[in-house]
Structure 1
Amino acid sequence: MRIALMTYAIDGRRAKGTALVARKCVLELLKRKDELDLTFIHYEKTDDAMYREGVREVLFPELWPRFLNRRSLRQIYYFFTTKDRYDVVQWFQPRLYPFFWFAPATHIVVNLHGAGDITAPRAFFDIPRAVFNFVIKYFSTYITAAIAVSYAARDEIVAHYKIPPEKVHVIYNGGGEDFVPIVKEEAFRVAEAYGIDRPFVLAVSRLQPHKNLARLIDAYTRARQSGIHQLLVIVGESAGAEKELYAQAKRSPHADDIRFISYVREEDLNALYSAADLFVYPSLDEGFGLPVIEAFASGTPVVSSNIPALKEVGGGAALLVDPHSTESIAKGIREALGADTPKKLIDKGLARASFFTWEKAGNNLFALYAKL
């Protein structure tokens, strides 16, 4: 079976979010390269190790004059001029340019993940995404299979993109095998390197409105007034809309105990999870919620919002709160830090994390190819 993978979704991106999912899926498919005739398609040569695995590599042709050298036009030019033919072409993001249906393949597979581009417009909206949403919604007939990362995400895709349910396949992300519980003292030494000097509550996410960090800060302030003593540590990259978030933190009576860390080395993230007394994920909109699984696997109790995807993925192992209620989040933090609750949550979380592996995701993707 000839499979073309649009690996430009990975190039030059840190292993986070959809780029992480794409990389993990590609690495799993590489384990089957004796069974699959794989081709990686992207725009520019990179030094990424996955391109040194002996797999055929294709670069979209550069166009001249330079004003024509746009990604969309380079794709279209390749589709119309190549002699290559594939059984499957797969995109790892919901970023389909007009005329994607001319891809030289019998089947087109797209990782839509969820419908966050529509359901969380304040976080994701811009003109290119509006075009992508239009293309997916009105030209989905050309998509053979769309991949959702949860059943909740599948329902959103069907509702918002109007793709027939039989075309939307659920393949859970992995993540449970990438993190392990680390002894508290050892983990805390790593945390200290990031300026964390006492027990803390951890949040990990981009600083986007739908991540609900403003309510988390308010809830943390309330929980402090009820007697908790931990710091609040928020690890997340800038999303261009965090000035008000910083200002809100400064207005808190516990401002000195609210710490923002913009970047944590990938090899340190496991230790940071394990060092935390609690992980809180109060997101308003998710397709999967990978940090929840990472925290579970690190042996850290989790409080998460009760939205459908997180309720599904958490599987009863997280303490659920109403993300629209500051008091509910504060109560969840207090309860999860109580005398008996953390051990119960840790045990449930470790068991739940073991369900989500990238090997399983890769096997399910391979099975999807086989039945197209």
Structure 2
Amino acid sequence: MYSLYRATTQEEAELKFIIFKDKIPVFIEVAKEMCNVHGLQKLCDILTEHPSWTLAHLAAHFGLHDSFNDPRVNCYLNSSEPETGMSPLQVAISTQNLKTVQMLVAASCSLEHLDNEANSVFHYAASTTKEIIGTLAQGSPPRCLNGRNKNGHTPLHIACLSDKPDCVKALLLAGADSNIAATKGDEDATMEPSYVGNYLQNNPNTLYLKDVKSGGTPLHWANSRLVIEALIDVNCHINAVNFEAKTALHVMVERNKIDCVVALLSRQADADIGDKDGNRPLHLAVKTGNQSIIQALIVFGVDLDVLNNAGETARHLMTKDQEAKLLYYLAAVGARRCLPDVSGCTDGCRYNGTYEGIPPPKVSCNKKCYTRRNLKRIEIWIK
């Protein structure tokens, strides 16, 4: 004897009976391995959680591959569960059962199906494994690969939010457009797409994917000047922002990648875009205390006095310890002191202060010549 379900009221029991009677007898006839106490309990539990699932949804959830050969299951191959809109393939992807996914794809299951939140099969796969994404992307990339769900996110955004570097790379290789912003804006209508799959195919280890959870484009994850130049050449949007509203220039400043910073600036990256806190790359360069990057930003003509959301200039952000090393480079090119009503100032930025930093020591003749040669090389390289 089996106790499938116990209810406190007859109405509750009758409702459960209607759900169970149409599915359990047929399902255990098709999948005889489920006809035991443990299997029946799991079957009842999942039907309690998803009462409108079809036999195909159940087979996909339990990974019962042979069940799809039965017409009573196969007829529901592309059905949509009313409550969530999930298809059997989306259920199989959610369970991360690669063999079931492969079987359903081979059976020509629809790859264009969207659930009630406009999530495609690739949205579901984006937080699973690269093997599942590869299975779905066989042949021509489906149109839904770059589609947005109701939250405005593409599968690539989901993979970033899930902190799945392998899935990010798999989606890019499959043909994901890296220029689609996480929040739909006016620029989307005119933005040229960027497909970096071919580049990654030939250059597999050129992206620093440890920080993909912050989103962005491959430019945000580039690990060298050469990679940045190659990505810009395949139309990666140089001023695209990640989930924190940071451009690739912000990220490279934070990572102290001077070669990448200069490469971006040389390709006309906008150094006066603020992140979610209004910080420009110059603010971040001061925070990281990188003298070379501060000098590079100055050379490329950034706004020295722009305020972040807290009303702070880059000069104001300098700590007393930093001022001895860095303040001179801002003060010497005209970075203004704070206004009289600004609080929390040091003598280096106070309205009536006098400290302007410490000039660097004079270099010897040999060092001057060496410096001039290096500056000439930089000038030629930039040109």
- Superposition TM-score tier, normalisation by shorter sequence: under 0.3
| Greater Rg by CA | 2
Higher relative contact order (Cα pairs below 8 Å, separated by 6+ residues): 1
Provide TM-score, normalisation by structure 1: 0.26
Provide TM-score, normalisation by structure 2: 0.26
More helix by share: 2
